[in-house]
Structure 1
Amino acid sequence: MTEQTSAARARRLSAIAGQTVVLRPATAAHVPIFLEILEHPEIEKWWGGYDLERVRRELLGPHSYAIELAGETTGLIIYREELDPDHRYAAIDLALHPDHQNQGLGCDAMRAMARFLFRHRDHHRVVIDPAVDNARAIRSCERAGFRRVGVMRAYERSADGGWHDGLLMDLLQEDLPGA
């Protein structure tokens, strides 16, 4: 499949259905909700530094989606792509409001996005990189099928301005249930 054909198919999809959640393309209407989620103390420690302009600049666009449960926005999920044919893969990141954690919604959102990236964007591998200290996120990624690859030292700037380690995790298409 050509890149143009794949991109055209991806644009036609208006929503991505999971088992429980629906991923909808992010719009300007999602900006205040995304900001509220990212400013929550339990999320801000991992996603620190977002203000209204940064949310608009970085979390709107064709690779950004709202995570919805029964029509309510409960989080956000984004993806980035490496399109070099010899190193092609996608990376995802998500934030789920603490009121909706521990219900399997993050796992469902990751699986839904991974299926989309495998089927409609022609990737064979998806990566995610939670902070080494974010045990809840790591457990959710593992439930979604991601495997630990290794620790990336001093990988990401913390909200306090220091650096913290990230855990590189990956999911191959054949590892995803129902892929």
Structure 2
Amino acid sequence: MSPAPDLRGPRVLLTPVRPAHHERLREIHRLPEVSRWWKEPDADWPAAEPDTVAYAVILDDRVVGFAQWYQEADPEFRHAGVDLFLDTAVHGLGWGTEVVRTLCTHLVDDLGFHRIVIDPEAANAPAIACYRKVGFRDVGVMREYCLGADGVWRDGLLMDLLARELVR
């Protein structure tokens, strides 16, 4: 993949993750309201994964979250997938919706994806509400989809967004 550009929303900046962001991103990841939905990262996280584009979410010159996207490149199944988390200090203030909208707009307008997927845990109601505001629709529940840190399998909700359904 080519180098990722900065992405600007009305109030937030998504900038490619750099080493200077790592400590703060790991700190946010360890917050209980974040770590309950995200598995323990590898020791080198958030070092770049080869098929993923990772962004630090910047608000007022401070790192407040993480967003990433990946693609299925097979032309018959081409689509992008996204993931994100934000510092609990900015939860419930509309920042998540702006981050998702900014990232999805880039994927649709600049990179030509016609479909984007996301797969939150089915119990993560705030995240699901955020994604719906941007136009994501429920596809279905994936039963016992992900293994929690406590050893319990949890259901996931597959959601998708078609380019024409993006709420700008």
Q: Where on the TM-score scale, by shorter chain, does this alignment land: which range? A: over 0.9
> Normalized against structure 2, the TM-score is what?
0.92
Partner in structure 2 of residue 31 of structure 1: 22
CA contact (8 A) 1:148 1:168 kept: yes
CA distance in 2, matches of 1:48, 1:127: 19
Q: Give runs of ≥4 in structure 1 deviating > 6 Å.
A: none
- Unpaired stretches in structure 1, ≥5 consecutive residues: 1-6
Partner in structure 1 of residue 47 of structure 2: 56
* Mapped pair 1:136 → 2:99: no
Partner in structure 2 of residue 150 of structure 1: 140
Change (3 A) 1:61 1:167: closer
* Mapped pair 1:20 → 2:11: yes
Structure 1 counterpart SS, 2:40: coil
CA contact (8 A) 1:39 1:50 kept: no
Structure 1 counterpart SS, 2:47: helix
CA distance in 2, matches of 1:83, 1:163: 29
What amino acid maps onto 1:18 in structure 2?
Answer: G
- Unpaired stretches in structure 2, ≥5 consecutive residues: none
CA contact (8 A) 1:145 1:175 kept: yes
Partner in structure 1 of residue 69 of structure 2: 79
Percent identical across equivalent pairs?
A: 37
Change (3 A) 1:144 1:175: same
Aligned-residue offset at 1:139? 0.8
* Mapped pair 1:116 → 2:106: yes
CA contact (8 A) 1:23 1:67 kept: yes
Partner in structure 1 of residue 161 of structure 2: 171
Partner in structure 2 of residue 125 of structure 1: 115
CA contact (8 A) 1:34 1:75 kept: yes
Number of aligned residues? 168
Aligned-residue offset at 1:19? 2.1
Aligned-residue offset at 1:117? 0.8
Structure 2 counterpart SS, 1:111: helix
What amino acid maps onto 1:24 in structure 2?
Answer: T
What amino acid maps onto 1:168 in structure 2?
Answer: L
**Residues 90-99 or 62-71, more deviating:** 62-71
